[in-house]
């Protein structure tokens, strides 16, 4: 899926994402300024996925001096490169086995994306623990 641009008219990137998603419902969103992305839990309003919640990465950018906002949606089954999705968004998603048809490639790609996001969260927690330990050692004068 490509980029959709719209006049900013005082809108935030998340407003643009909501407009792009309609009629699907935004259940929860988390902003990652570093990646210029939103991680979304989206309740689908139509088709085979109706009522189920899937993961979506929404990239955004501005152009023309902020007069336009561009949005690009990447669903979890499309294997987004972006893998910093917070646990609360991942926890809000319908389990892969109930969201996608059994044995489908969509389910496999979505599972890979979710697993890699959870792996990133584990690495982040380990890194935070290591930094906290190092700070404590410095305070106690145990480092050289």
Calpha distance 116→106 (Å, rounded): 16
Q: What is the pLDDT of residue 75?
A: 92
Q: What is the pLDDT of residue 144?
A: 61
Q: What is the pLDDT of residue 128?
A: 67
- Mean pLDDT, consecutive 10-residue segments, the chain of 144 residues? 84 87 91 88 90 93 86 91 93 92 86 94 77 72 69
Q: What is the pLDDT of residue 11?
A: 82
Cis peptide, bond prior to residue 58, ω within 30 of zero: no
Query: What is the separation, in whole angstroms, between the first and last Cα of the chain?
Result: 53
Q: What is the pLDDT of residue 1?
A: 62
Look up the pTM and report it: 0.79
Burial call 77-97: b when 16+ CB within 10 Å, e when fewer: beebebbebbeebbebbbebe
Q: Where are the alpha helices (DSSP H) in 26-104?
A: 87-92, 96-99
Domain ranges (residues) in the chain: 4-140
Q: What is the pLDDT of residue 39?
A: 94
């Amino acid at each position: 899926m490509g980029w959709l641009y719209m006049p900013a008219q005082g809108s935030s990137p998340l407003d643009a994402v909501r407009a792009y998603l309609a009629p699907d419902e935004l259940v929860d969103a988390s902003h990652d300024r570093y990646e210029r992305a939103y991680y979304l839990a989206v309740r689908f309003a139509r088709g085979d996925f109706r009522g189920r919640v899937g993961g979506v990465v929404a990239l955004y950018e501005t152009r023309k001096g902020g007069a336009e906002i561009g949005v690009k949606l990447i669903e979890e089954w499309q294997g987004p490169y972006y893998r910093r999705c917070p646990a609360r968004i991942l926890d809000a998603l319908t389990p892969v086995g109930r969201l996608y048809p059994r044995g489908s490639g969509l389910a496999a790609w979505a599972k890979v994306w979710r697993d890699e996001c959870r792996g990133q969260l584990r690495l982040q927690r380990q890194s935070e623990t290591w930094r906290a330990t190092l700070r404590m050692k410095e305070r106690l004068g145990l480092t050289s």
